[in-house]
Structure 1
Amino acid sequence: MFDRHFAVWPENLPHHLTIPETSLCTNLDVSALRYPEKPAIIYYDHTITYRELKRQVDALAGYLQTLGVDKGDRVLLYMQNAPQFIIGYYAILRANAIVVPINPMNRTAELEHYLEDTQATVTLAAQEVFANIVPLIGTRQLRHVIVASYSDYIDPQTDLDLPAEVRAPAQPLQTEGAIAWRDAIDAGKTPGELLVGPDDLAVFPYSSGTTGAPKGCMHTHRSVMATCVHGVAWRSGGGSEGIILSTLPYFHVTGMQGAMNAPIYTGACIVLMTRWDRRTAATLIQRYQVTSWTNIVTMAIDLLSDPEVESFDLSSLQNIGGGGAAMPEAVSDKLFKLTGLRYIEGYGLSETIAATHINPAEKPKKQCLGIPVFDVDSRVIDQETGKELGVGEVGEIISHGPQIFQGYWNRPEETEKAFIELDGKPFFRTGDMGYYDEEGYFFIVDRVKRMINASGFKVWPAEVESLMYRHPAIQECCIISAPHERRGETVKACVVLNAKDKDNVSEDDIITWCKNEMAAYKVPQIVEFRDELPRSPTGKVMWRALQEQEWATNESAS
């Protein structure tokens, strides 16, 4: 067991935490029983109590069961942050089914894969993305889509600046198989017996890899509960009186755990935003005395760049942190000057349902993953030989702990490759290259996988390539990262066109096409036409050579 970090372990915290032997649904039941009239969600000044939250969850769960949703079925949850996401998430679990959270930026072509992979018959979708899934209703096994309009949960008296999709009134539904959210709730159905326990599957966040096809990470109620409980224990202000500003997307595990499941576990209040807006965020922190805010670096940078930020009272904040990309030291120092708080960085993956490592609040290190949290055993190994490495030696980070997933849905071979046995225990191979220092803090240096990190959004080149190959003029393409002043890195496509299209298709044409076919953060910001792509002796495209050439060219030009 790796224990080097125990010397800097937070005072008054045990090394071991016992995880509740219950389902996630029980967390809501308990909080609703304890705090029925306490605000569970504040959504642009509209309050939903724990009693009302549970009532709507139960009603929707009962309705899902009338549509045929049964134990172990997968249900897609396709929307931005809103009360309906929280209600839908817990309703799916209460119906004994499995939540499949989908990035709302995904388009029809991308949704095809999720439906095919999960065999979902029901989807919960927001009104503004409903058109993307309409062509798929009835084409496979998908039969019903429950459509939510965010404005149903808005306080008409609010003075906050609302995003367009939040202001939009509910539109009439004329598509066969489409059901209005309000109609589903107002049907007043009662769910059957809760049949799921800690070791039943609960959530499938999807993670892509070098194969290009996103893979469902199978998480049980127990593994989801683990990082939920860990996060609450690690953070100050994490009890029932905590007030959590929720700005990270719930389809992603960091937002899902830190700003939804953890507050519901403790009976805290969620102050919820659908879209990031720095002025609205500062107003909400001041208005509701927010105690905790988990974010990505770009949000913190944007808040600090507001010339009016110092006019807001942010003194209620007790902790600020996040992950996804390293926090620049200068930004961390500016945030500390404004709030008196150090930015607490952490590290986790979809396969670990959020953090395996977090910096101790009393002794954080900058641009550091942190130390292994409760019951997590992390090591660094030689990627090729599997030999364990020592202090300062760079290798692949591996982890064993209660939050590790059960494997990839329908992919036994990839599941087997994702684990290695050490000291008689299975360790998850993160694919991230890093090292640990003398005190047991972990640092990342490189990625084995071809991932592009654009403002915290993870872009998997093989997935983008597979979508781009649908373009009739593209003969071959290779996706690499390019340096970007604001995003850190961005997406670049090296494209070989078919001979007959070379004079008819422009770089802008390719970009415009991509905008209609994939989520905005995946769209190549740069397209470079080439006569051919470099290949290895075995015929494989040498993406690494293109990658290194791109960054070297930019460095020499700067």
Structure 2
Amino acid sequence: MKHQVHFKFWPPRMTKTLTVPETTLYENLLMTTKKYPQKIAIHYYGTSYTYKQLLNEVEALAYYLEKELRVKKGEHVLLFMQNSPQFIIGFFAILRIRAIVVPINPMSTTNDLEFYIKDGNIKTALVGQELYEKLKIIHQNNLLKNIIIATYSDYINENEAYDHLPSEVAGCRKEFHQTISWNDALTSNESALPYCGESEDVTIVPYTSGTTGLPKGCVHTNKTVQANTVGAFHWLNMTSDSVSLTTLPLFHVTGLVHSALAPIFAGSTIVLLTRWDREYASAVIEKFGCSHWINISTMLIDFLANPNIANYNLSSLVLVGGGGAPLPEAVGKQLYKVTGLDYVEGYGLSETMSHTHFNPPHRPKLQCLGIPAFNVDARVVHPETGKEVSIGEEGELVVNGPQLFEGYYRNEEENKANHMTINGKRFFRTGDIVKMDHEGYFFLVDRLKRMINASGFKVWPTEVESILYKHPAVQQACVVRAQDLLRGETVKAFIILKEEYRGKITDTDLINWSKKQMAAYKYPRIVEFRESFPTTSSGKVLWRKLQE
């Protein structure tokens, strides 16, 4: 009974279960185009694209990938871009030929990229031109065979793009040696082989960091992604005339599902931003009548801090929500004051293709993960014994549901370690410590692992420490999380300097060095020097003591 208490607060007039369609993600676009060929799919910095135009470009690129580059069914293809029409076109073109999308964070370093490419035996990449330099050495070493370069400015209208054009979008097209320009890849009017995609086809492998810092690929099929695509469509009350403000990065599962795949399933319109800009976001909400906006708390905090916010008409918004990091209660109250809307928070992971939990839009709670979504069985168990705990008690969140991934790519050890069986049912161990209240709402307490959640990005201390150790002055490093008003959590490094460097190097020196060594969300924002660290008798550093 404990597992069904939340149904009392289920969204009204909504079925408690949802059958996942056996059609594919590519067929979502195909069917929407048949229904609404002339409807605007994407508004992008002064230019608009209909569903028919979008599908035509998907078909042209799919033909090129299949016929010219010989990309095969089941082959991994790197999608390394900022938010852009080309990201969406590339995503569906890869699926059209039954290949597998590997979407990668644009902040990734060359070392990160080399790992993904080797892990997935990737030969072909679709790349934003501003990111090519990170792949150049990999390309020259023949680890990557084919690179198609996209220039975002090809898809804008500069006369109508206002004054808020990000630098990545404003740049003119460049030529790179032995690469293929996006426009050259879209010249054919021919079609790829007839589409025979199936629900069980693997479609996307987003990577998540492991506890050791090594990334793990999460294997998702059409079916697991459809579960949350269609679930979000119903839960967020989308219609064909909804307009989604798309500001979350599309390489990330939450942005992809809620701000691209669900709107396309609905046949609605996407207002696409390559980079976050609070002024531009306010302007397009007013101009295009945006109804839905799924974000992360850091964006919303910045949005509400805009002194010009009262100058914009935001009345078209009907739903504002998000996840990744809990929204401070004071910010939720401010949002209500400005828009009359409650913030609708959700919770999920790359392993579950975004949400397993969502707050009911008619009755959300602040700083709350929400209630289990359609067909999700969520339990709170003792992390060591695996036994279920009582209502209000803390324990590890384990989940079973139709959006649960097939497993980690080529990583049987992690698959065993991160799953458990309860009464014959397979559950994924999230590693998050939660508690459930008497109404069936779930609340995050802490993280079982040391993971740092900086603006929704996962940072693993072990990985950051291993890079810090490369600095000649560092004798010992211990990385912990620190609270941050904007990012929620941020990265703090305790450092013991080698004797010869003491007094000769500053915290700023180390921070500036770190910026060049790791992705922007990973480097320490705070460095504190110590003479020694607290340790166990065996010499292990007591990181929790340092964090406290």
Q: What TM-score do the two structures reach when normalised by structure 1?
A: 0.94
CA change 1:115–1:159 in 2 (3 A) is closer
Cα contact 1:80–1:274 (8 A) shared by 2: yes
Match of 2:109 in 1: 107
Cα contact 1:126–1:149 (8 A) shared by 2: yes
Match of 2:97 in 1: 95
Question: How far apart are the structure 1 equivalents of 2:484 and 2:254?
Answer: 24
CA deviations on 1:347-388 (whole Å, 9 max, x unpaired) are 111111111111111211111111001100101000000001
Per the TM alignment, residue 70 of structure 1 is displaced from its structure 2 partner at its CA by: 0.9
**Equivalent position amino acid for 1:171 in 2:** K
Cα contact 1:40–1:48 (8 A) shared by 2: yes
Match of 1:61 in 2: 62
Q: Superposition pairs for residues 451-530 of structure 1, below 5 Å?
A: 451-498=451-498, 502=502, 505-530=505-530
Question: How far apart are the structure 1 equivalents of 2:214 and 2:194?
Answer: 36
Cα contact 1:37–1:50 (8 A) shared by 2: yes
Per the TM alignment, residue 193 of structure 1 is displaced from its structure 2 partner at its CA by: 3.2
Per the TM alignment, residue 187 of structure 1 is displaced from its structure 2 partner at its CA by: 4.1
Match of 1:342 in 2: 342
Match of 2:375 in 1: 375
Cα contact 2:63–2:188 (8 A) shared by 1: no
Match of 1:165 in 2: 168
**Equivalent position amino acid for 2:104 in 1:** I
**Equivalent position amino acid for 2:167 in 1:** A
Match of 2:125 in 1: 123
Q: Secondary structure at the match of 2:101?
A: strand
**Equivalent position amino acid for 1:274 in 2:** T
Match of 1:329 in 2: 329
Cα contact 2:103–2:205 (8 A) shared by 1: yes
Per the TM alignment, residue 140 of structure 1 is displaced from its structure 2 partner at its CA by: 5.2
Q: Secondary structure at the match of 2:521?
A: helix
Per the TM alignment, residue 495 of structure 1 is displaced from its structure 2 partner at its CA by: 2.9
Q: Secondary structure at the match of 1:396?
A: strand
What CA RMSD, in Å, does the superposition of the two structures yield over aligned residues? 1.7
**Equivalent position amino acid for 2:173 in 1:** A
Q: Superposition pairs for residues 98-247 of structure 1, below 5 Å?
A: 98-139=100-141, 141-160=143-162, 161-173=164-176, 175-176=177-178, 178-188=179-189, 190-236=191-237, 238-247=238-247
Q: Secondary structure at the match of 1:92?
A: helix
Q: Secondary structure at the match of 1:429?
A: strand
**Equivalent position amino acid for 1:14 in 2:** T
Per the TM alignment, residue 499 of structure 1 is displaced from its structure 2 partner at its CA by: 5.1
Question: How far apart are the structure 2 equivalents of 1:543 and 1:192?
Answer: 56
Q: 5+ unaligned residues in a row in structure 2: which ranges?
A: none
Cα contact 2:209–2:458 (8 A) shared by 1: no
Match of 2:35 in 1: 34
Match of 1:553 in 2: none
Q: Secondary structure at the match of 2:453?
A: strand
Name the stretch that deviates more: 399-408 or 447-456.
447-456
Cα contact 2:77–2:124 (8 A) shared by 1: yes
Q: Secondary structure at the match of 2:280?
A: helix
Match of 1:397 in 2: 397
Question: How far apart are the structure 2 equivalents of 1:534 and 1:187?
Answer: 65
Match of 1:83 in 2: 85
Per the TM alignment, residue 460 of structure 1 is displaced from its structure 2 partner at its CA by: 1.8
**Equivalent position amino acid for 1:441 in 2:** Y
CA change 1:136–1:473 in 2 (3 A) is farther
Question: How far apart are the structure 2 equivalents of 1:248 and 1:394?
Answer: 31
Per the TM alignment, residue 126 of structure 1 is displaced from its structure 2 partner at its CA by: 0.6
Q: What TM-score do the two structures reach when normalised by structure 2?
A: 0.96
Per the TM alignment, residue 504 of structure 1 is displaced from its structure 2 partner at its CA by: 5.7
Cα contact 1:125–1:146 (8 A) shared by 2: yes
Match of 2:417 in 1: 417
Cα contact 1:325–1:456 (8 A) shared by 2: yes
CA change 1:294–1:184 in 2 (3 A) is same
Per the TM alignment, residue 311 of structure 1 is displaced from its structure 2 partner at its CA by: 1.6
Per the TM alignment, residue 340 of structure 1 is displaced from its structure 2 partner at its CA by: 1.3
Match of 1:427 in 2: 427
CA change 1:140–1:394 in 2 (3 A) is farther
Per the TM alignment, residue 471 of structure 1 is displaced from its structure 2 partner at its CA by: 3.6
Per the TM alignment, residue 529 of structure 1 is displaced from its structure 2 partner at its CA by: 3.5
CA change 1:534–1:196 in 2 (3 A) is farther
Q: Secondary structure at the match of 2:240?
A: coil
CA deviations on 1:474-525 (whole Å, 9 max, x unpaired) are 4442211123233232111223445555566543333222212221111111
Per the TM alignment, residue 406 of structure 1 is displaced from its structure 2 partner at its CA by: 1.1
Cα contact 1:208–1:215 (8 A) shared by 2: yes
Question: How far apart are the structure 2 equivalents of 1:69 and 1:475?
Answer: 47
CA change 1:125–1:499 in 2 (3 A) is farther
Question: How far apart are the structure 2 equivalents of 1:91 and 1:476?
Answer: 47
Question: How far apart are the structure 1 equivalents of 2:503 and 2:334?
Answer: 50
CA change 1:75–1:519 in 2 (3 A) is same
Match of 2:258 in 1: 258
Per the TM alignment, residue 195 of structure 1 is displaced from its structure 2 partner at its CA by: 4.0
CA change 1:380–1:251 in 2 (3 A) is same
Does residue 74 (structure 1) correspond to residue 76 (structure 2)? The answer is: yes
CA change 1:409–1:140 in 2 (3 A) is farther
Question: How far apart are the structure 2 equivalents of 1:212 and 1:336?
Answer: 39
Q: Secondary structure at the match of 1:520?
A: coil
Question: How far apart are the structure 2 equivalents of 1:245 and 1:269?
Answer: 9
Question: How far apart are the structure 1 equivalents of 2:170 and 2:18?
Answer: 43
Cα contact 1:78–1:103 (8 A) shared by 2: yes
Question: How far apart are the structure 1 equivalents of 2:23 and 2:312?
Answer: 41
Cα contact 2:247–2:275 (8 A) shared by 1: yes
CA deviations on 1:142-200 (whole Å, 9 max, x unpaired) are 11211111100001321422111111111122x23x11111111244532233431112
**Equivalent position amino acid for 1:444 in 2:** L
**Equivalent position amino acid for 1:99 in 2:** V
**Equivalent position amino acid for 2:116 in 1:** Y
CA deviations on 1:504-552 (whole Å, 9 max, x unpaired) are 654333322221222111111122334454433344333222222xxxx
Question: How far apart are the structure 1 equivalents of 2:466 and 2:23?
Answer: 40
Q: Percent identity?
A: 49
Match of 2:248 in 1: 248
Q: Secondary structure at the match of 2:404?
A: coil
Q: 5+ unaligned residues in a row in structure 1: which ranges?
A: 549-558
How many pairs does the alignment contain? 545
Q: Secondary structure at the match of 2:545?
A: helix
Per the TM alignment, residue 443 of structure 1 is displaced from its structure 2 partner at its CA by: 0.6
Question: How far apart are the structure 1 equivalents of 2:322 and 2:58?
Answer: 29
CA deviations on 1:36-60 (whole Å, 9 max, x unpaired) are 1111111012111111111111111
Question: How far apart are the structure 2 equivalents of 1:290 and 1:398?
Answer: 35
Per the TM alignment, residue 138 of structure 1 is displaced from its structure 2 partner at its CA by: 4.2
Q: Secondary structure at the match of 2:444?
A: strand
Q: Secondary structure at the match of 2:82?
A: coil
**Equivalent position amino acid for 1:41 in 2:** I
Q: Secondary structure at the match of 2:510?
A: helix
Question: How far apart are the structure 2 equivalents of 1:397 and 1:271?
Answer: 35
